[in-house]
A and B are shown apart, each in its own frame.
Chain A
Amino acid sequence: MTANFNQSQILETIRMIKIHHLDIRTTTLSLSLRDCASSDTKKTAKKIYDKILKYASNLVKFADEIENDYSIPIVNKRIALTPISLVAESCDNVDYTYIAQMIDKAGNEVGVDFVGGFSALVDKGFTKGDLRFFEQIPEALSTTKKLCSSVNLGTSKAGVNMDAVLKTADVIKKTAELTKEFDSIGAAKFVCFCNAVTDNPFMAGAFCAINEAECALNIGVSGPGVVSSAIEELDKTADFGEVANLVKKMAFKITTAGELIGRKLAKKLNIPFGVIDLSLAPTPLRGDSVAEIFKAMGLEQAGAHGTTMALAMLNDAVKKGGIMASSYVGGLSGAFIPVSEDAGMIEAAKIGSLTIDKLEAMTSVCSVGLDMIAIPGDTPNSTIAGIIADEMAIGMINKKTTAVRIIPVINKGIGDNAEFGGLLGSAPIMKVNPYSSEIFVKRGGRIPAPLHSLNN
């Protein structure tokens, strides 16, 4: 009789968890707040607070139980809310900061790691409420710990709101100023998007879009270490067909683990399973790095010529392998390239192999964008707006999600290091182009939506 289990599969799974850091990066409860609107800030805040407590009280407890059942770490538990700019706009003299603080309090109460959704969607223009919301983002982020904020500045259908790009640069700089005692960490909790996705479980950009259900559980998997170690074991002469196939197989295994955990947890919480985001998300731990995958493929360092192709192939193969493993794939799905959260990226940035310009090129084929990049604290707002504009252009033209999460670290410059701690890691301050973008970004208005034919 053959055994009812396969020894090598069991040992492989344990090795993936123990040595190669396979984990479930996040279980994110997506929660609609459409029923929390009122004409009074305090009343709306109370409704939001109560709803978070009602739906998320068991999230951490049940996630811990499932983690124990399978011995697979669930690193973060998070909540994604309906964009607060929409929920609170009808309040008289709305105080978004107060709402932010109440959300933070609720997040603390239920024990989650982050709460996202302090967000606005302004790709085509601002409402009065949006303008007020933008003004209050820095204070909201600097007076809360778990709150994450995001704004959508452009889409392939509508173009890019350049007034919003400039305002976003101001928000980033001001948030950095207000949190300068902690290496401007407030800016690490803020991201701007082009083509923001509606069901992303990853921070800082998670929110529950208005077309989403009352609640759902979205899962973000991880496991760059699993992929890099598998490629390392391949013969150095193995061709790209073999490499791509191996990545697909690994992505399949990682995703099925995520799907299982997600479905079990959703069932326990008695809420629908939403999507699985099959992103390769690194952490600052050695062996949990996307940059190490490039090295395993044969590049001396992340940033070397060939890195964009390596990333393009990786991103595509991860999607192909993962999509077979789950009925509902969504979110950002692909390979993340945050600098401060990836030991290999940090090293490459420190030795000068990885520059902002190369990272920008890489974002045209990765799953998101310029992520967790520390720049000098005295970088002009107009330069930050220029960086954002370039990234929005890549997203708009290529019909993909792009994002910028950049941290101007106040009182620090080239040669210094910023320490954010935990999953956010640390980063060398990277050089930005010294020439001015000021007149360009101050033109304002909206970049017209691009043509969707004659693609060349």
Chain B
Amino acid sequence: MNSDNQIIITVTGKDKVGIVAKVSNCIAQNSVNIEDIKQTIMQDNFVMIMLCNISKMQISFKEFKENILQLANELGMEIWVQKKDIFDKMHNI
């Protein structure tokens, strides 16, 4: 698998109805596939981490990120979109 195509989307903020639905919808609309999801509540904060694959994405990574960040604004949540290999490198020998 080409790890260049794997990205991590991290969503944090105050829990409310519809976060997973709206974020997933935005991801699907851009032809990005969700490979894994982990969602918890940490110290009253909503935390969701999604492993996604962008190999079938039709737009540029920059445009996709802009779409997600716009959604983050609308939801009032903090969303980070990063290529996955930075986490693999930093935390593994």
Contacting pair B86 A5 (CB below 8 A): no
Interface flags, A8-21, vs B, CB<8A=1, else 0: 01111110000000
Minimum CB–CB distance from B82 to chain A (whole Å) comes to 5
| A244-281 near B? 1/0 per residue, CB < 8 Å | 00000000110011011000000000000000000000
Across the interface, A10 reaches (CB within 8 A) one of B10, B35, B40, B61, namely B10
Q: CA separation between A70 and B81, bound complex, in Å?
A: 8
Q: Are A5 and B93 in contact (CB under 8 A)?
A: no
Q: In the assembly, what is the distance between CA of A68 and CA of B83, in Å?
A: 9
Task: Say yes or no for A7: interface residue by CB 8 A criterion.
Answer: yes
Question: B residues within 8 A CB of A7?
Answer: 38, 40, 47, 49
**Given A69-B61, A70-B82, A257–B90 Cβ distance below 8 Å?**
yes
Whether A5 contacts B87 by the Cβ 8 Å rule is yes
Using a CB-CB cutoff of 8 Å, which residues 53-78 of chain B contact chain A?
Answer: 61-62, 65
With contact pairs A3-B36, A65-B62 given, residues A9 and B90 touching in the complex (Cβ less than 8 Å) = yes
Interface string of A222-256 (1 = CB under 8 A from B): 00000000000000000000000000000011001
CB distance from B72 to the nearest CB of A (A): 12
Contact at A70–B49, with CB atoms within 8 Å? no
The interface size of chain A toward B, counting residues with CB under 8 Å, comes to 24
Q: Which residues of B contact A68 (CB under 8 A)?
A: 61-62, 65
A5-B83 contact in complex given A68-B62, A257-B89, C-beta closer than 8 Å: no
Known: A10-B8, A70-B82. A5 touches B89 (CB 8 A): no
**Residues on A close to B: CB < 8 A?**
3-7, 9-14, 65, 68-72, 252-253, 256-257, 259-260, 324
Please give 20 more A-B residue pairs, beta carbons under 8 A apart, in addition to A5-B51, A13-B86, A260-B85.
Answer: A5-B36, A5-B84, A5-B87, A7-B49, A9-B90, A9-B91, A10-B10, A14-B10, A69-B61, A70-B83, A71-B80, A71-B81, A71-B82, A252-B93, A253-B90, A253-B91, A256-B89, A256-B90, A257-B86, A324-B93
